[in-house]
Amino acid sequence: MTTLTARALLLDMDGTIVNSDAVVERCWRAWAEEQGLDAAEVMKVVHGRQGYATMAALLPDRPMELNHADNRRMLAAETADVTGVVPIAGAVDFMAALAGLPHALVTSADRGLAEARMGAAGLPMPYVRVTAESVGASKPDPEGFLKGAAHLGFAPEDCVVFEDSEAGIAAGKAAGMRVVGIGPRAAAHAPDVAVADLTRVRVEALPGGGIALHFGG
């Protein structure tokens, strides 16, 4: 059993508390086909970033205005498609355990997409949320996590990030925070703790306002 203590938690959405892999794959495979790219290679880099940043990484010579236009189109398609969007195993109980404790959503999705997916998964939307509209730079830039900590009123070192992707884990580390990796993508990117899903996490409210996170195998 591993235990971390924190004052606040910062939660990524896709792949961390919400399983949206089915719709992400549908939308990005369609985009890859439009661009003449290998869909399998595209899927290796889409997780964790805002869409325009993924497009720029895949097509570095492409004008950014085209990436932003495609990103808007992609967000609309993803927001309208919630088929197969479900909570990550253990997410319902995990989010219930956070009620009344300091936590925030820090996602590369925009506000509409975040609301659609959290609603489809049946998860409560945190009062504090940092979405795509809130930042000037996509993960792996730490801006989103630093803003989340600031909104909650805690120093970065007092926060623990929950993430599933390489870009998200890098962002959490760059923010000076400890990172819990969730799911099969996370373990390869050296989070402080890695677990298969949220059934492996137990949240304990500590006297004085701290949070203890207990991790099973």
Active site residues: 12, 14
Helix (H) or strand (E) holding 179: strand 178-182
In tens, the pLDDT along 23-35 reads 988 988 999 999 9
Residues 6+ apart with CB under 8 A from 6: 158, 159, 160, 178, 210, 211, 213
More confident call, 115 vs 217: 115
What ranges in 59-165 are assigned the alpha helix state H?
A: 64-80, 91-98, 111-121, 143-152
Contact in structure between 4 and 193 (CB atoms under 8 Å): yes
pTM of the shown model: 0.89
State yes or no: pLDDT of 212 exceeds 80.
Answer: yes
Cis preceding linkage at 140, omega within 30: yes
Rounded to an integer, the average pLDDT of 114-128 is 97
Percentage of the chain beyond pLDDT 90 is: 82
Q: Residue 180's pLDDT is what?
A: 98
Q: Residue 41's pLDDT is what?
A: 87
For residue 3, the 8-state DSSP code is: E
In tens, the pLDDT along 83-102 reads 999 999 999 999 999 999 99
Rounded to an integer, the average pLDDT of 154-174 is 97
